[in-house]
Structure 1
Amino acid sequence: MATATFRFYEELNDFLAPERRGRAFARRCARAATTKHMIEALGVPHTEVELVLVNGESVGFDRLVAEGDRVAVYPKFEAFDITPLLRVRTQPLRELRFVADAHLGGLAHLLRLTGFDTLYDNAFADDAIERLAREQQRIVLTRDRDLLKRRGITHGCYVRALRSEAQLREVFERLDLARSARPFTRCLDCNGLLRPIDKALVEARLPPMVRERYQRFTACSACERVFWEGTHWQRMRETVAAVLAPPAS
């Protein structure tokens, strides 16, 4: 069995045992172990990794670890574009689409509010999430590290925050979502697309007070739920404005 030296950077250290954080350490590797196998054996989901350097050279997850290798593992880079260096994935996702696990219903709701295609069902099993991620090329959002280690999941995000709005801010910052947001374009219940609809077509379905006060409406193309700009909409607009606001200098 080969012995290699590993060093993890920035927030990837959160997944390591305390004595391995922020430092290089040696580790004996299983026979024919790949970089992906060893990274995950040390506790880091492969979906959190953006760049792997072995002896200074960018490699893929399938690179076999050899005796004396020095393996440096990096998370997503915020400050500069490292696309020419990447070897760990064959291609980026063309569209930002998500599937959230059973513990992130509030986050899924807020992502739909900001216009992102987000699948969620509190009955989703891990196998179903993996299948949706693979077949529909979705980014998995979860607080379950083991879920992100599944072979069929190539893109994922381990959510650290506990409260829904803090989770939304975290995901927006980590994945740079602000430029792609399209608030109030998706149904909060079923994820369908919203379309403007004439009041006359939905008037019979409206509560009397809503019928009197409001003139503009949208309807879901999938479940046909009707939305209007009431007091709840104002609160949601404040939430959206807060997450889309540029960070304070």
Structure 2
Amino acid sequence: MDKPEISIDFAPELHVFVSTPRRGGWSAVRTDGSSTLGHVVESLGVPLTEVGAFETADGERLASSHVPVDGERIAVRAVVRPQPLPGPPRFLLDVHLGTLARRLRLLGVDAAYESLDIGDPALAARSAAEQRVMLSRDRGLLHRRELWAGAYVYSHRPAEQLRDVLSRFAPPLAPWTRCTNCNGVLRQADKAEVREQLRDGTERSYDVYAQCGDCEQVYWRGAHHAQLSGIVDAAVAEFGGAVVNR
């Protein structure tokens, strides 16, 4: 018996994952007659984290567990932006996204980060245990079923990565409230409290400080403050947020 043949049309946003012949229109795909629609799409290179919906040619929604039959025409839609989540987004970033993690924390976004390559199973397990959105450019990682949620980071440039995540998940922004070193929450600190951690020049030049409640890292408006303020101001201007003076 011949294997079923279906037609699939991928949304333009998903073309980065599929081979050139499958971009820009309907393409024929042979299935084994028993694999689910989700499995078929993943086998063509698209992580299900990036799929917003499956629809027949007449607009009927299909579940990823649907088993396609011969002759079906199925459109694969991209995720909607902002993508809804049950509660404020919390993220987990893999070892390759350290700069993005620090920029998210700079904006007050809860962004856990693994500085060591602990392996895909451990990352997926942490995502599930802590209910964090796994951010990665590793497509294989995003195929793992254990993930609580995941998202592919489309660019390798930190500025574009940040805009991608903010536009996709619309997390509440509260700049200058998180430690960029460990993700802990910052509190205002008197100079006397943190004097032992300051160099003489810093103590003489600055009067306003913040300290992480977890790792005790001390922050002040140093030489890089203007650059960091530029990142914060641009994000708040485009995506909104409460500006906290630090």
Q: What TM-score do the two structures reach when normalised by structure 2?
A: 0.88
**Which of the numbers 107, 116, 120 marks the counterpart of 2:100?**
107
Q: Name the aligned partner's letter for residue 96 of structure 1.
A: P
C-alpha contact 1:47 1:154 (8 A) present in aligned 2: no
Tell me the residue number matched to 1:120. Answer: 113
Percent identity of paired positions between Structure 1 and Structure 2: 36
C-alpha contact 2:189 2:209 (8 A) present in aligned 1: yes
Give the drift of 1:95.
2.3
Counterpart-to-counterpart distance in 2, 1:21 and 1:243: 32
Counterpart-to-counterpart distance in 2, 1:60 and 1:200: 60
The question of 1:42 aligning with 2:44 is answered yes
Give the drift of 1:69.
1.8
Contiguous gaps of at least 5 residues in structure 1: 84-90
Cα deviations by residue, 1:66-108 (Å, 9 ceiling, x for unpaired): 2222211111234xx9x9xxxxxxx833121111111111111
Tell me the residue number matched to 1:161. Answer: 155
Give the drift of 1:188.
1.0
C-alpha contact 1:93 1:137 (8 A) present in aligned 2: no
CA RMSD of superposed structures (Å)? 2.0
The question of 1:68 aligning with 2:61 is answered no
Q: What TM-score do the two structures reach when normalised by structure 1?
A: 0.87
Give the drift of 1:14.
1.5
CA change 1:20–1:154 in 2 (3 A) is farther
Tell me the residue number matched to 2:30. Answer: 28
Tell me the residue number matched to 2:244. Answer: none
Q: What are the residue-to-residue correspondences of 1:143-182 with 2, within 5 Å?
A: 143-177=137-171, 180-182=172-174
CA change 1:33–1:170 in 2 (3 A) is same
Contiguous gaps of at least 5 residues in structure 2: 240-246
Tell me the residue number matched to 1:216. Answer: 208
Cα deviations by residue, 1:24-54 (Å, 9 ceiling, x for unpaired): 1121112321111011011100000111113
Q: Name the aligned partner's letter for residue 131 of structure 2.
A: Q
Q: What are the residue-to-residue correspondences of 1:171-210 with 2, within 5 Å?
A: 171-177=165-171, 180-210=172-202
Instruction: Report the number of matched residues.
Output: 235
Counterpart-to-counterpart distance in 1, 2:101 and 2:192: 32
Give the drift of 1:154.
4.5
Q: Name the aligned partner's letter for residue 182 of structure 1.
A: A
Counterpart-to-counterpart distance in 2, 1:23 and 1:68: 16
C-alpha contact 1:192 1:220 (8 A) present in aligned 2: yes
Counterpart-to-counterpart distance in 2, 1:93 and 1:36: 22
SS of the aligned residue for 2:88 comes to coil
Counterpart-to-counterpart distance in 2, 1:128 and 1:228: 35
SS of the aligned residue for 2:6 comes to strand
